[in-house]
Structure 1
Amino acid sequence: MPHRFHPSILREYDIRGVVGTTLADADAEAVGQTFGALVMRAGGRVVCVGRDGRLSSPALEAALVRGLASVGIEVRRIGCGPSPLLYFATRHLGADGGVMVTGSHNPPDHNGFKLVFGGKPFFGEQIRRLGRVAEAEDVAPALGGKAVETDPRQAYLAHVLQGFRPGRALSVVWDCGNGATGPLVEALAARLPGRHQVLNGAVDGHFPAHHPDPADPANLRQLAAMVAESGADLGLAFDGDGDRLGVVAPGGRLFAGDQLLMLLAEEVLAEAPGALILADVKASQTLFDHVARLGGVAEMCRTGHSLIRSRMAESGARLAGDMSGHIFYGAPSDGVDDALYAALRLLGLVAGWPPGELARRFDALPRLFATPELRLPCPDERKVEVMAALKAALAARGEPRVEIDGVRVSTPDGWWLLRASNTQPALVARCESASAAGLERLKQRLSAELATFGMEL
């Protein structure tokens, strides 16, 4: 029978909603039936399925598997683990597609699905098509579907360990945030030299210690305190499904996503001079300048993990990242946002430095004045109108700007950004300047632009 999804859950990058309100087991089964039918029509047959540790994930995963099997799909169930494990399993097992049941870094009552098809992210128009097919009941049951359990963890651990370059023995604190990375992090820590302490390694969908999102400094307090208490070289934090990485150096030094990318770019460009490195439109100008000074090619790209992965595949970039801690490596990581692999690359880098060098590198970073990411509520229809009108006004005035994702406007004081969120009814703003006074002028300028649309910063 036809299935109509709640209109809010078919997002740009994934399918995501509030369990019991906008997302139910019936939606999971419909996702399985419809995605499975699309895979079968393309000549595929095998789909890998994984899930995170949220309380609602086992039931959603079971319904998803029922839906896939009902249309003839052979399902490879990998169980509970991080999203990068699902991506790896899809490649390693030669599957035609993959679905991860995960709420990622969102609140505990949220959940959803990240999809891959033919080795590429399944997003945007593909997700919208899935909704149309489900509503049109354009899905027919088929025989031959089945579900089998498989365990790619040992192969995945071997893959991740390829990213580690041995050096001096390190003292490391790992914070899994009670998310899906815990068992794999403990297995990795046991195989690495040095001293390792794992915090919040038990998978617990209540997230009792703190919310699993390392992009929020409040969620790194426990980790920073333990790094200080133990005298560790650094601390590493992961989000609920293991595709975001947070890094803490001694002294409570918290690396932003673009600052982390600056460190990792040095190693990549030493190995591949002139390599292309991608960063999202919210990243600091200092990152793009840093890559250029190192002899690399820096490219600004649209925000969103699916968009960045797609651009990596198109461009052959060796490294990419965003402000929220998604780090993407090319071969051998195949351009996926794998926080565990990125963590091992960073550990190999730090192991080659003398003690205290990570903190010194942080202190040497340019000290700019910037706003955090500002989210301004705005209905979906209205945000499209606002961005179109703003682009037209800036073009008429001939102002220097980048329009790959909203508008990023350059001024003598620095730059300001306004873009439409792809996941929420909101506009996203950010400003950056070399001085406090310059930042204030940028904020005033952005406020003036917003005022023409009856909005406030």
Structure 2
Amino acid sequence: MMTIQQLQNGSDIRGIAITTEEWQANLTQIEANRIAQGVFAWFKTKGLAHNDTVKIAIGHDSRLSATELKTGIIEGFLNEKVEIVDVQLATTPAMFMATQFEEIGADIGIMITASHLPFYYNGIKLFTKNGGAEHDDIEEILTIAATKEVSVGTEGSVEKQDLIPLYAADLVAKIQAKTEEEKPLTGFHLIVDAGNGAGGFFATQVLETLGADTTGSQFLDPDGSFPNHMPNPDNKEAMESIQAAVLKEQADMGIIFDTDVDRAAVVDATGQVINRNNLIAVLATMVLEENPGSTIVTNSPTSSHLKDFIELLGGRQVRYLCGYRNVINKAIDLNKENVETPLAIETSGHAAFKENYFLDDGAYVIAKILMLLPKLRSQGQTIGDLIGQLKQPVEAQEVRFRILADDDRAEGQRVIDALSEFVKMTPGMTEDPETDEGIRVNVHDEFGSGWFLLRLSLHEPLLVLQVENDEAVKNHQVFSALEKFFIEQKELNADKLTAVIQAK
């Protein structure tokens, strides 16, 4: 039977909130009640309370189970002396800003979301005035929650207050200040795809306020069944949807958010998709112009061409562990070491700027791009022109191996270590020493010109193999060579590798 501690997902809490034919709910109003009690006890032990009464802001995205979980959380908190502010539909970055805005002044921000996961999932993200919760914080909270019984208290109070208008107005003010114009987007046709998540406000409360035409924007209304496509800027179907809308409407740019708006991507006027490595390149261009010679932290599965691109701009890339908290914390640590690091970003789209509390905020990412649009137009350029010198791989593929061993982490690391020995014995393969996660290998000669990375999945019992090449059909030769290694790994399911090789 699953324990409440198993709801931990890195620095978040996630579980099944709606029972389906395949899944049994394990994050319900009951667990939410106990988790709220754990949050309050953790908060008190950390000495973060500034007053006798703790003020807690609670918001949620469009998920169908949000009201049930919110009810459980509120009931759990009402055992204590608290003031609860129900901000209703919100975004994850806005819930952190609820601890910063004087109008809310929350000590704790609680966001109910499971990002881009299917409708039956939900989860909880936690903020204090100092930033987001860490892995150890969530572990402590759930350990405490495991000792609690469901309890409905009457100590605290609950009121409703709008948060999104405050958050939107803050973004508008920042864009106006940077551009020195009240309506800097006048004459721009910009389309928003919110994927029926919480980001629909951006079209009306930000873009239109700044003068933009948002005709053709789509899926702005919240709907937790996600009837059109998954709200995920890292998803092929989602990106094709916004790409088609931009081309149909002949818009200047398309903007897409994930469910809780902590990630975003764009499509330029030509239909060029700007996510993953392309988005990192765009943001790197901006921050390196503002902070020449600085460092940018990314996760490990970025293209080798991105490293070349950043260095061409005079910057430095540090490839670090996957997980948005990992890249953010690495950037924070580098700044403490007096290494100027203004940006931390994952290929998934999580991007955090030093100037913005190192908060992974998709709306702020778009705000930064919007600040640049008037200047680009005056120069006859689009946002896509910024990455004209970023070379694109000819082939890019990914294969996932399910780890069959009981101790999947140990077995996965054993396979990675064994692959290192295999690479040493294989001409045309050279291990890249600049790797903090898994094993990254540069390939050459008979294998073309490219690289591959094998790493443990962050949350699942999987090994992830990513292969890129600048020469057509050479990925097949890389996969064929690696098959000799992987078929010897008896605790891995290599069926998907076999399928890729046979698909040629």
With over 3 angstroms needed to count, the CA separation of the structure-2 counterparts of 1:29 and 1:141, relative to structure 1, is closer
Residue of structure 2 equivalent to 1:442: 478
CA distance in 2, matches of 1:373, 1:390: 17
Select between 259-268 and 426-435 the one with higher mean Cα deviation. 426-435
Residue of structure 2 equivalent to 1:37: 41
CA distance in 2, matches of 1:285, 1:386: 28
1:96 touches 1:119 (CA, 8 Å); kept in 2? no
With over 3 angstroms needed to count, the CA separation of the structure-2 counterparts of 1:302 and 1:118, relative to structure 1, is farther
Q: How much does 1:49 deviate?
A: 1.7
With over 3 angstroms needed to count, the CA separation of the structure-2 counterparts of 1:219 and 1:72, relative to structure 1, is same
Residue of structure 2 equivalent to 1:411: 443
Relative contact order, CA 8 A, sep 6+: which one is greater? 1
What letter matches 1:104 in structure 2? S
CA distance in 2, matches of 1:201, 1:142: 37
2:328 touches 2:352 (CA, 8 Å); kept in 1? yes
Give per-residue Cα distances to partners, 1:297-338, cap 9 Å, x unaligned.
21112111222232233223211221112221121x211111
TM-score, normalised to structure 2, is 0.82
SS in structure 1 at match of 2:333: helix
Matched, 1:191 2:209: yes
CA distance in 1, matches of 2:240, 2:324: 26
Alignment of 1:243-254 (within 5 A): 243-254=262-273
1:217 touches 1:254 (CA, 8 Å); kept in 2? no
Q: How much does 1:281 deviate?
A: 0.6
CA distance in 1, matches of 2:461, 2:272: 33
Give per-residue Cα distances to partners, 1:399-420, cap 9 Å, x unaligned.
4344522222333333211222
1:69 touches 1:145 (CA, 8 Å); kept in 2? yes
1:30 touches 1:134 (CA, 8 Å); kept in 2? yes
Matched, 1:76 2:99: no
Residue of structure 1 equivalent to 2:69: 60
Give per-residue Cα distances to partners, 1:238-268, cap 9 Å, x unaligned.
1111111121123432123221111121121
SS in structure 1 at match of 2:9: coil
Matched, 1:334 2:360: no
Q: How much does 1:27 deviate?
A: 1.0
Give per-residue Cα distances to partners, 1:95-114, cap 9 Å, x unaligned.
43322101210111111111
Alignment of 1:68-107 (within 5 A): 68-92=77-101, 93-107=104-118
Select between 382-391 and 25-34 the one with higher mean Cα deviation. 382-391
Residue of structure 1 equivalent to 2:302: 283
Q: Which runs of 5+ in 1 are unaligned?
A: none
CA distance in 2, matches of 1:135, 1:160: 39
SS in structure 1 at match of 2:317: strand
Alignment of 1:266-415 (within 5 A): 266-316=285-335, 317-331=341-355, 333-354=356-377, 355=380, 357-361=382-386, 364-378=389-403, 381-393=406-418, 399-412=431-444, 413-415=449-451
Q: How much does 1:39 deviate?
A: 0.4
CA distance in 2, matches of 1:13, 1:351: 38
1:97 touches 1:119 (CA, 8 Å); kept in 2? no
Select between 385-394 and 52-61 the one with higher mean Cα deviation. 385-394
1:181 touches 1:240 (CA, 8 Å); kept in 2? yes
Residue of structure 2 equivalent to 1:214: 233
What letter matches 1:338 in structure 2? D
Identity level (%):
25
What letter matches 1:46 in structure 2? K
Select between 304-313 and 394-403 the one with higher mean Cα deviation. 394-403
TM-score, normalised to structure 1, is 0.90
Equivalent residue pairs, number = 454
Give per-residue Cα distances to partners, 1:1-47, cap 9 Å, x unaligned.
xx973564222231111123222111111111101110022222333
Residue of structure 2 equivalent to 1:13: 11
Residue of structure 2 equivalent to 1:422: 458
With over 3 angstroms needed to count, the CA separation of the structure-2 counterparts of 1:394 and 1:379, relative to structure 1, is closer
2:403 touches 2:411 (CA, 8 Å); kept in 1? no
SS in structure 1 at match of 2:277: helix
Residue of structure 1 equivalent to 2:428: none
What letter matches 1:145 in structure 2? G
CA RMSD, 1 decimal? 2.7
Residue of structure 1 equivalent to 2:338: none
CA distance in 2, matches of 1:151, 1:302: 37
CA distance in 2, matches of 1:151, 1:314: 35
With over 3 angstroms needed to count, the CA separation of the structure-2 counterparts of 1:119 and 1:452, relative to structure 1, is farther
Q: How much does 1:359 deviate?
A: 4.3
SS in structure 2 at match of 1:131: helix
Residue of structure 2 equivalent to 1:265: 284
With over 3 angstroms needed to count, the CA separation of the structure-2 counterparts of 1:149 and 1:4, relative to structure 1, is farther
SS in structure 1 at match of 2:230: coil
Residue of structure 2 equivalent to 1:46: 55
What letter matches 2:472 in structure 1? A
CA distance in 2, matches of 1:13, 1:374: 26
Residue of structure 2 equivalent to 1:151: 162
